[in-house]
Amino acid sequence: MSGKLNGKTALVTGACNGIGLADAIEFVKEKADTVIMVSDNNERLLEAKETVKQYGNAEIITYRLDVTSENEWKDFIDEMSKKINKLDVLVNNAGVNKRATFQECTLEDWNHVITVNQTGVFLGMKYCLALLKKSGNASIINMSSITGLTGYFAVAYTASKWAVRGMTKSAAMEFGELGIRVNSIHPGFINTPFNESIQDLIKLSNGMNSLGRAGEAFEIAKAVTFLASDDSSYMTGTEVILDGGLTSGGQFKLLAKQFNNY
């Protein structure tokens, strides 16, 4: 039986937990040939590989890579070029947050978030390009956020996610003629380890979205898989929002309810 990703080789960064792990699982379920899982946390990555293997027969390759390091990207691509002859899907998913306002955010905080979330995506697209070109029909999915669409109190995170949204459009323009589509994903609050420390904020925000709940990692992975597959063959340079309706005016519902106007 064929799946949506039949015959494809896919790479996911930050694949050891949360959304990246869900992407890898979904790719295996949709019969990708090879799924390459990378993360800066090797121990967790090896555990994640065992989980992913249970979902199908794809070849799973794991590799410890810090997405902020140009040298590590170079070594990684040299190594991969010996194992695979093309790359069909790149998911730039690795990300960190420092929930600090302008007044609290140090330069060190700023540089850390920008380097992982923004420079990491730049390096990912730059160094995977040669293998993606060999596909002739490739798809890049960059993980932004709803904070790449609106303002948010975490200044460095917000800046990095707007940058991902912008870079996606520049890349889509440049790579289209190389047979590569590039799109960004914009999740709202999703239940992953990323959000363990902000459960109160999430509870409150649930009252502001149309579905009344946070999302699950697999719900993002389904959309990532759609963008990775040929089903989205005419989509490039665009933004896919998965936020349960949070950015579509949910705050007005909460306000109206509080003032008994709803």
Closest CB 189 distance from ligand NAD, rounded Å:
5
Is residue 116 a contact point for ligand NAD (CB under 6 A)? yes
User: Does 124 sit near ligand NAD (CB under 6 A)?
Assistant: no
159 part of the interface to ligand NAD, by CB under 6 A: no
Using CB under 6 A as the binding rule, whether residue 192 contacts ligand NAD is answered as yes
Binding to ligand NAD (CB under 6 A) within 224-253 occurs at: none
Options 63, 127, 152, 157, the catalytic residue: 157
The residues in 14-73 that bind ligand NAD, with binding defined as CB under 6 A, are: 14, 16-20, 39-41, 65-68
Least Cβ distance, residue 96 to ligand NAD (angstroms): 5
Residue with tokens 């949910």: 250
234 has catalytic annotation: no
Strands 138-143 and 89-92 turn out to be: parallel
Exposed/middle/buried for residue 209 (C-beta within 10 Å: 0-12, 13-18, 19+): buried
- Binding-site ranges for ligand NAD (CB under 6 A): 13-14, 16-20, 39-41, 65-68, 93-96, 116, 143, 145, 187, 189-190, 192-195
